[in-house]
Structure 1
């Protein structure tokens, strides 16, 4: 992993909401819209084929047969292009054939071991029992290769493949070398997916939502690509609750500023009955609990929310799943009588 950094390295807030927020930068058409926000030109990345398994070419004949099979099996299971795993295996240990220390036993100078060169701590966190023999052996390619796939997956692959490979070994020279080999194994016509946080698959507005809810969601979605800054109120950066407040305010509806205030504000909704525009709350952050959630996102479809996650998250603001272990509950601000009345007045106007 990162023990080769030296080697490859040598080779190479708070502002007042603008009145302009009341104008939503959205173009409707067959429920598609273009995004502004922090994403230059409103471009999105198609990730539909990010995990596709390309056909092996002549160059793959140089890979030992057992390794080739393991790369393909792990690629299919974890949704990682098998040739990327093969590229890592080639660069790290020449598919386990290297005679250097730490390949078949022991560790190298940086503490890495096995055909995919795992540090002990990383192995402990991400090891997979690939051959189901009850052991996780970093020197066994049947375990090491799927473990590498799991580690890439954890770091954003296949949607952010270059980022994930960089986390495997913190050098862009390393990333390029791995991908050069990955191309050779499939005949050269291969490009990995690297999203900017805006995926084309997430650009559809909910079909059955009202125009008002679509406008609320559209504003929040248009902020993708901008940074998360705790306490920020936009327009250049947001935190989780300020993004939600601004999205509602852009259609003329006022809700509280903080997550702690937003939780008791809306009507509580049973899990499984949430709708687009509802708020989903999480037991995360300091001073929070199941009765006092400290993080919030907005439902855009079944299982998906638009959320400002954290300053180190990738993306910081983006579409993510909300059905997770720290999910506390759901509220519906638009079910409040005062907001329902206001929404009706806005619609009539």
Structure 2
């Protein structure tokens, strides 16, 4: 991959007289999405024609962020190529390479030399409403917090999959990464979306590798809690997370039915007696044979070949896929 560079654009939005930036962590491999991630990174998995990392970026841009540091894998050339043609010319994107996937604290430490002041940090696979991002930013500004976390109540059986906080009187008193259910301080999850003062960056060099060999961001947040305090949070009921193929199906279904995207039906050709049932998105270069029923709630990425007498419903068909004659696909992701 090329030396870290910067797409052309403007400086970031003023934050109380200062500039504010965003950092997006997009170097993850997406092992639980295999084999969908054999030929592209998790960040570049499509949600109705846009990589999920772009969907995350849009929620930040809608809240006035226009300077972004994006941490990417050295094996992901596609992501830089994609954002060279990003449709918002006033958004500046600087790419920083993470040579090894060593956790969020390591990724943030690589972005740290480019961070000047208060910043918002997001993973590339976590989508929350733009209104929630706005509330995070406003709460951070109003309270004078050093860190403002995105929080969500979850079923206690799920606490071992996420960071969990102890919440008391509007403050985060403790944060634990993936605790056992019996050891969890609560059922309140810390989502991978934060607003940080630059104070947090000073603790990153002190983070030690976890038993799984990663440098956990939660350890740096806990140091901030213990030494300086002023860590708060904002709750959300709504979020979409991309972890596996079922999530990909659900997120695309959500955007088909609630996302407000302009519909696209752009197949190269459609055979006789084929029925297309909305909501539906079909990208350019796709050829559909005769006698098919496509939809509802179907997303077909570009350059696919659909045979004759095929039924596709509640499904995602990824780019360059060939579907043989007579196949029935319901509730699946096919690549």
TM range (shorter): under 0.3
Larger Rg: 1
TM-score, scaled relative to structure 2: 0.27
Higher strand share: 2
TM-score, scaled relative to structure 1: 0.26
